[in-house]
Structure 1
């Protein structure tokens, strides 16, 4: 039974007299309790009374305190129940009492709905989603323990309870049904709560949400001093992501379309999906709440943000969803991302960034809800986004740990990290049956598959290649072998096409400079892309010469840069070129000694000549981390 707010009767103290909902049945009646009753029949030996439409009985004349006619009101107490189910009552007449209305059905929480399948229940909660289908209106209602879909029926496709809006506090009654491996309430009544009752519930709900949003305390997979300053930042993001799910706000995940980006996004997607399944009774909730989207560029392009905004606004209009939180992984830290973030700001869409590219914090942080980047703590790219996101995923869903133990090593090898912790990550992966070459092949397979998937996230294919949430290790190994072999074959072909077209010179600082027109002297629109092609050429020349090498792969309006043994600062160079040639449209960035630059076609020679001059003035550094160990930016 669920009691409504109590109301005074003939006095302000004394026993409680229950006023039953007409639908209440025998289970709502308890011995010793008092009930309001209505006379429905008068006989010689007493009166028959109704205490609800479903519960009636006799008050024998010996137990009556007065004389009554049909329709009269009195207060009764259950006296006896015979073997045939007949009830007998005693009349009572307390001098003072309090009336309490009893609603039909059981008061419950979302967490306890499974105990009431097939029964009517009452539930209080906040509306976190409203979806108008071709049939019922689906209200997603959240209480302190979870979220449940509640189907309210009008004429087909007609909005039920149009007065109810997102974030309203409501009280509903309905029938609990099983639907699509989940639970749903078929609404019988739905009312908005207002005033102090609503505010008290909102406060209670907010406190419960904060508690449920707290991330799990997990020990990092390896001991690594450089990682420790980032742990608190990741906890903040884990809390924010869990809270976002609890509030019913979807998450739109953007990640760089390469091995490290996938190692960052897939574990986090799986962790968030598990959290959604834990909180939501709707078996389709994860599909609506999460979307993983690869980005070809290592920044948030206006094309991508425009597409994301369009889908988000359509979902809000068609499905009643809140506008999403945008989660950027393995990109998002640079000034190039600012126009996209400013576009999202028009709709108050929050943005969270987890990245390891050289950041422009002054440019991006005023537009971000949270920003995790090793450079902000004096570290660098060697802490890859995949390594960070695996720990973040474990804070959200620690039961994923066993499936993720090999992923940081894949991320590190994919982005050519030579951090000291790589030894520990490789050992961890070795315990799962992977040697270094197998891990490298997983990264190559991911990169190759992602290239052809383009704007598609790859779904189960990608999880099978990464061997996360994969139920067949043999299939995983066959896929990796096939895709990695194809990748190696295509890379070698591009190197053959490029070898006769390389331009070589020795710079004033004695570094080797190799340049190639990747627009005209390698195969276009095939694998590998210009960035990876330039990286493969660079790796080969570093191996051949054993000396400092700079490689530039250029097209009509872009250049991809690689350096080994030369102390460069590509983000700084880009900024200097932008100031020196204001009409050249210079933009770009990346890591210190690997990156990319864009410009207008007519200024290509001017920009590249100035860039080479800066490179020729750079100091050599034999101890500098080799760019063979750096990621291939596209």
Structure 2
């Protein structure tokens, strides 16, 4: 038993439960599970990400202080890597990830005491006791090594004793010399190989380091990242087989090898160690390679990377003519994603905030995250190297591109990140996205577009890899069917996880092949419908957030009553809200006959609940599915937007062009042509309605049925 250092209460340890939050701990453990949730710890800033700050607790573990825990904006923090901070350990997850909380006290003097959290010494001990122990251990080590030991004192022995002692000494010396003679007779040539074999580094690739823990190795590759911690400088080295952290120490917090930058090709010698379950090389020598040596390593890495990145084969999940028609492009997209992982290049997936967009984006996420974890051998790698960002519509405009560039440049400046690979799914396929894509191109970023419909010619020329039908009228599919096939090529280990996703993405006319595939995977038709509707509902709320964990729970829960309850619960809300809106809308639908064509019209400004689910686009989709036999088209007119729905293959841009002649002051714009959306000036709404309906009727008279 001990007593609380603050109130004196008798406790097991040095602090009572009441005062746990009044002391700060220094951590001397080695594993995350040795931390005590609820305690405050001294830490040091390790690095920054868009979602928070990584903080080293002691010398062996790192936790994440999420931006939501901070009392100010992340970009307003004046912390630098190596700065001392004080945080609370909120939880330690089963996978070793540590969730940290913000401490309002940001100075040791603001706490009422300091304790050492040392699992090897039964937990909390006083700092001064620990310091005394350290000094005592230091003295013992010094004594054991013979350093500083006192010289033997002379005694008052008689001369005879001295003579005997001298004789014994001489005999002892002679014996020692005699015993040492064989070693002394070794030639330098004989001794040199033994010394070299002890210290010579072994050539190795990064993938081989797991078998060489404790050995001195020599590895060559490219510096993917360099970061300064409160202790060593950590270089992330990438070769053709993987990446590994190489720690180089000059002195605490001081940059080792300051001449080495990201992108340099180097040779590193050091000892392989395992820390926190991850491999690390303790750097003893680092050399920047130049000229022929650099070219040889670069060429070797490039050839090996292309070979590793390209899947052996890529086949559709099920029979789908639209997917089979773009097999080569699917293979190119899978290669681009795998290569980005191997290069240590972040991947940003931009997808529309629709059920199809979300499921397609998650398919790529599902395949890519395990590769990132394996490649970078770091618990937090997936947060650095993968980001899924929904778009409100399918257009990737200057606002979206500017936000992405700002974040991209900030990550490069603050963390030395490479420019990411952008993968657009069910988005960026029309001319309206050209400005945004061109802005990315200024910085040389790679762009992949995956679209279920033919994209505009300008987009074809602007992106690096395109997966889309060659022209309108080709066999129809969904973005998810394409993306899931790509994902299976990216990582064949997740093939079984993807089999039900295409069925989820079809609102109607789901191909039998995908229905059967989902059923074989354990997802019946009712469950598939529940998941689709649940995803559509959650896509509407917090539309700019990826909602990774929630979407994963909805899409990949094991098929048990408890697991499927989430999708069923959310889909019930979807249906309730949808039925309420549909009922109101149907009572206010009007039919216009224009040039003999029956067109349904809804005043969405007056007869829908704005800013509530369902959004106008989803409501009109459902209305048209129910009333397609009553009219050739349905148009909703809002304050400054019109939405067109039809089974005919309508060219919305042609409608806008023709309507503009009748309403020249309306500022008509087909910016959302892919979604059937037309923008206009609110003050010209009446003129726009007449002009758009007339133009639509003319277009319908010539447009083929989809």
Asked if TM exceeds 0.5, the reply is yes
- 1:398 and 2:480 aligned: no
Question: CA 1:366/1:510 → structure 2, altered by over 3 Å: closer, same or farther?
Answer: closer
| Distance in structure 1 (CA, Å) of the matches to 2:626 and 2:653 | 25
Shift of 1:475: 4.1
- Superposed CA offset, 1:247-284 (max 9, x none): 22111110111111122111111211122233222332
Tell whether the 8 Å contact from 1:557 to 1:598 is kept in structure 2 after alignment: yes
| Distance in structure 2 (CA, Å) of the matches to 1:547 and 1:243 | 51
- Residue 364 of structure 1: which of 459, 473, 493 is its match? 459
Larger relative helix fraction: 2
Q: How does 1:186-335 map to 2 (within 5 A)?
A: 186-335=282-431
Match of 1:506 in 2: 593
- Superposed CA offset, 1:363-389 (max 9, x none): 223321111112448525x21110001
| Distance in structure 1 (CA, Å) of the matches to 2:658 and 2:260 | 56
Q: How does 1:1-16 map to 2 (within 5 A)?
A: none
Match of 1:535 in 2: 621
In terms of mean alpha carbon deviation, does 107-116 or 471-480 score higher?
471-480
Q: How does 1:78-157 map to 2 (within 5 A)?
A: 104-157=200-253
Tell whether the 8 Å contact from 2:558 to 2:564 is kept in structure 1 after alignment: no
| Distance in structure 2 (CA, Å) of the matches to 1:367 and 1:360 | 10
In terms of mean alpha carbon deviation, does 251-260 or 117-126 score higher?
117-126
- Residue 450 of structure 1: which of 539, 551, 556 is its match? 539
Match of 2:155 in 1: none
| SS of equivalent residue, structure 2 residue 306 | helix
Tell whether the 8 Å contact from 1:109 to 1:143 is kept in structure 2 after alignment: yes
Tell whether the 8 Å contact from 2:523 to 2:559 is kept in structure 1 after alignment: no
Question: CA 1:622/1:301 → structure 2, altered by over 3 Å: closer, same or farther?
Answer: closer
Tell whether the 8 Å contact from 1:221 to 1:405 is kept in structure 2 after alignment: yes
- Residue 579 of structure 2: which of 473, 492, 495 is its match? 492
- Superposed CA offset, 1:526-560 (max 9, x none): 11111112222223333xxx333321122222111
| SS of equivalent residue, structure 1 residue 203 | helix
| Distance in structure 2 (CA, Å) of the matches to 1:353 and 1:499 | 37
Question: CA 1:616/1:315 → structure 2, altered by over 3 Å: closer, same or farther?
Answer: same
Match of 2:436 in 1: 340
Question: CA 1:575/1:329 → structure 2, altered by over 3 Å: closer, same or farther?
Answer: farther
- Residue 429 of structure 1: which of 514, 518, 521 is its match? 518
Question: CA 1:119/1:341 → structure 2, altered by over 3 Å: closer, same or farther?
Answer: same
Question: CA 1:439/1:169 → structure 2, altered by over 3 Å: closer, same or farther?
Answer: same
- Superposed CA offset, 1:403-430 (max 9, x none): 11111111123xx3x37xx111101111
- Residue 605 of structure 2: which of 504, 507, 519 is its match? 519
| Distance in structure 1 (CA, Å) of the matches to 2:251 and 2:191 | 43
- 1:554 and 2:637 aligned: yes
Shift of 1:477: 0.7
Q: Unaligned 5+ residue runs, structure 1?
A: 1-42, 49-56, 65-73, 80-86, 90-99, 626-634
Match of 1:350 in 2: 446
| Distance in structure 2 (CA, Å) of the matches to 1:360 and 1:511 | 30
Shift of 1:331: 0.8
- Superposed CA offset, 1:576-606 (max 9, x none): 5568848715133445xx6112223234333
Question: CA 1:154/1:448 → structure 2, altered by over 3 Å: closer, same or farther?
Answer: farther
Question: CA 1:310/1:378 → structure 2, altered by over 3 Å: closer, same or farther?
Answer: same
Match of 2:469 in 1: 374
| Distance in structure 2 (CA, Å) of the matches to 1:191 and 1:579 | 69
| SS of equivalent residue, structure 1 residue 272 | helix
| SS of equivalent residue, structure 2 residue 643 | strand
Q: Unaligned 5+ residue runs, structure 2?
A: 1-175
TM score, norm. by length of structure 2: 0.70
| Distance in structure 1 (CA, Å) of the matches to 2:498 and 2:607 | 40
| Distance in structure 1 (CA, Å) of the matches to 2:227 and 2:342 | 17
Tell whether the 8 Å contact from 1:132 to 1:319 is kept in structure 2 after alignment: no
- Residue 650 of structure 2: which of 546, 568, 573 is its match? 568
| SS of equivalent residue, structure 2 residue 486 | helix
| SS of equivalent residue, structure 2 residue 284 | strand
Match of 1:596 in 2: 677
| Distance in structure 2 (CA, Å) of the matches to 1:160 and 1:471 | 49
Shift of 1:295: 1.0
The number of aligned residues is 530
Tell whether the 8 Å contact from 1:410 to 1:443 is kept in structure 2 after alignment: yes
| SS of equivalent residue, structure 1 residue 159 | coil
| Distance in structure 2 (CA, Å) of the matches to 1:377 and 1:274 | 36
- Superposed CA offset, 1:322-377 (max 9, x none): 1111110011110111121122122222211001245212x223321111112448
Shift of 1:151: 2.6
Match of 1:58 in 2: 183
- Residue 609 of structure 1: which of 681, 684, 690 is its match? 690
In terms of mean alpha carbon deviation, does 261-270 or 214-223 score higher?
214-223
Shift of 1:621: 9.3
Shift of 1:299: 1.3
Match of 2:504 in 1: 410
| Distance in structure 2 (CA, Å) of the matches to 1:333 and 1:281 | 35
- Superposed CA offset, 1:475-522 (max 9, x none): 431111001000011111212333443333222233232222x23321
TM score, norm. by length of structure 1: 0.77
| Distance in structure 2 (CA, Å) of the matches to 1:186 and 1:519 | 66
Question: CA 1:116/1:576 → structure 2, altered by over 3 Å: closer, same or farther?
Answer: farther
| Distance in structure 1 (CA, Å) of the matches to 2:670 and 2:333 | 29
| SS of equivalent residue, structure 1 residue 562 | strand
Question: CA 1:465/1:509 → structure 2, altered by over 3 Å: closer, same or farther?
Answer: same
- 1:462 and 2:556 aligned: no
Shift of 1:77: 5.5
| Distance in structure 2 (CA, Å) of the matches to 1:185 and 1:174 | 6
Question: CA 1:521/1:377 → structure 2, altered by over 3 Å: closer, same or farther?
Answer: closer
Question: CA 1:200/1:407 → structure 2, altered by over 3 Å: closer, same or farther?
Answer: same
Tell whether the 8 Å contact from 2:323 to 2:481 is kept in structure 1 after alignment: no
